[in-house]
Chains A and B, each alone.
Chain A
Amino acid sequence: DAGVIQSPRHEVTEMGQEVTLRCKPISGHDYLFWYRQTMMRGLELLIYFNNNVPIDDSGMPEDRFSAKMPNASFSTLKIQPSEPRDSAVYFCASSLLWRGLADTQYFGPGTRLTVL
């Protein structure tokens, strides 16, 4: 089975540009999560979806960030306009609602974003 797929793997852009990160979760999974990882702040949950519906977006840093999940097999995280402080590794993860507390999140390989 294919794992969580993210694209692009690396993105270098200039300040002010729009950036779109993409994620394909594991087929059949109910939940999709977007995380950001930086040295200073560690691994932060930005937003997560259940059955394509956003459940908690309290981790989204500002209005410049937006996330969508138009269907069960695709999600995007958009930053517009991008700023240098957005430079980080962005992870997408998915999980299946099966055992509740014990459900494991499976992570994609991440997108390393550099904003110049």
Chain B
Amino acid sequence: AQKITQTQPGMFVQEKEAVTLDCTYDTSDPSYGLFWYKQPSSGEMIFLIYQGSYDQQNATEGRYSLNFQKARKSANLVISASQLGDSAMYFCAMREAVYQGGKLIFGQGTELSVKP
């Protein structure tokens, strides 16, 4: 079974608007961490934001925020005020407690295109 599901293969957003990239996950472990990475066309993987399962507040990093809905097992990435440089693939990933410090499981990714 898929542990991380990103249902949007591709998304378009107008420059300066906000966009939400969906991520749902599946785990029976009460302790886990969720990550988002960005992969621009140049190919490198860039860490964006982290949310722990016990964190009381949604994580934020600059224009990135994570809409964490634990009961729904969703961890959507919100990018505010989109910029042309935000055009990239975005990957959601999860680490379960048994793999503390180690193994991440990645979703299939969402390709975001920002229109001028």
Contact = CB atoms under 8 A, between A and B. Distances in A.
Nearest to B106: A43
Interface residues of B, number: 26
A91 B103 contact: no
Contacts, number: 63
Contact of B35 (A48, A91, A104): A104
Interface in B60-99: 91, 95, 97
A101 B31 contact: yes
Interface range on chain A: under 10, 10 to 19, 20 to 34, or 35 or more?
A: 20 to 34
Interface of B: 31-33, 35, 37, 43-47, 50, 52-53, 91, 95, 97, 100-109
Q: Which 3 A-B pairs have the closest CB atoms?
A: A100-B100, A107-B45, A101-B33
Interface of A: 30-31, 33, 42-43, 45, 48, 50, 55-56, 89, 91, 93, 95-98, 100-110, 112
